[in-house]
Amino acid sequence: MKLTRGAYRTFVDANFGAGTVSWYLIGRDIEEMSTDLGADVTTVKNILDETSVQHNGYEPSTEADPFYADPTDALYPKLRDIAMGRKKGDECKTKVLEVIVEDTSAASHLAYTEDVYLVPTSIGGDTSGVSIPFTIHYAGNRTKGTVTITNKVPTFTADE
């Protein structure tokens, strides 16, 4: 059985490291969202018709578009401040929690956290509402673990 798109969930810490983690699930109003792994691969074919492949790692990013401005959303105040204040660097730094729900009856699920920079790409939009689409730039410090989800609130536990 193939997994539905809802099995892969992306959360960001709406508190941006200030106090207790507050995981915000990204996806409302978004019909398609993927993490582009940005694989850095070089392929060279020499004069002997031999192919050499060098894989240097990844530079992942995720585009969240649209993100409609809703003052009741936990992520909105910080995202608004970053966009309107033209914040940069560590002022845009938070954490991402990626969860893959392979079995909906299981108590815990495979998950990873990682440091990220959440960077708005524009602000404004059309008549459907004010939109602040953003890009999540993954910055390393990736940690594997599991997550339990109770009342739609995830709790991450790192592997030992």
Q: What pLDDT is recorded for position 1? A: 83
Q: Six-digit token pair at 33?
A: 């969202």
pLDDT band at 64 (very low <50, low <70, confident <90, very high): very high
Question: In terms of CATH architecture, what is 5-158?
Answer: Beta Barrel (2.40)
User: Are β-strands 8-13 and 35-36 bridged in parallel, bridged antiparallel, or unpaired?
Assistant: unpaired
pLDDT in tens, 120-129: 999 999 999 9
Q: Where are the domains of the chain?
A: 5-158
Say if residue 96's pLDDT is above 90: yes
Q: Terminal CA-to-CA distance of the chain, rounded, Å?
A: 31
Q: What percent of the chain has pLDDT over 90?
A: 96
Q: What is the mean pLDDT of residues 133-139?
A: 98
pLDDT, position 20:
93
Tell whether pTM > 0.85.
yes
Adjacent-strand bridge partners of 88: none
Residue 160 — pLDDT band, cuts 50, 70, 90? confident
- Measured in residues, the chain has a length of 160
As beta bridge partners, residue 111 has: 99, 145
pLDDT category at 119 given cuts 50, 70, 90 is very high
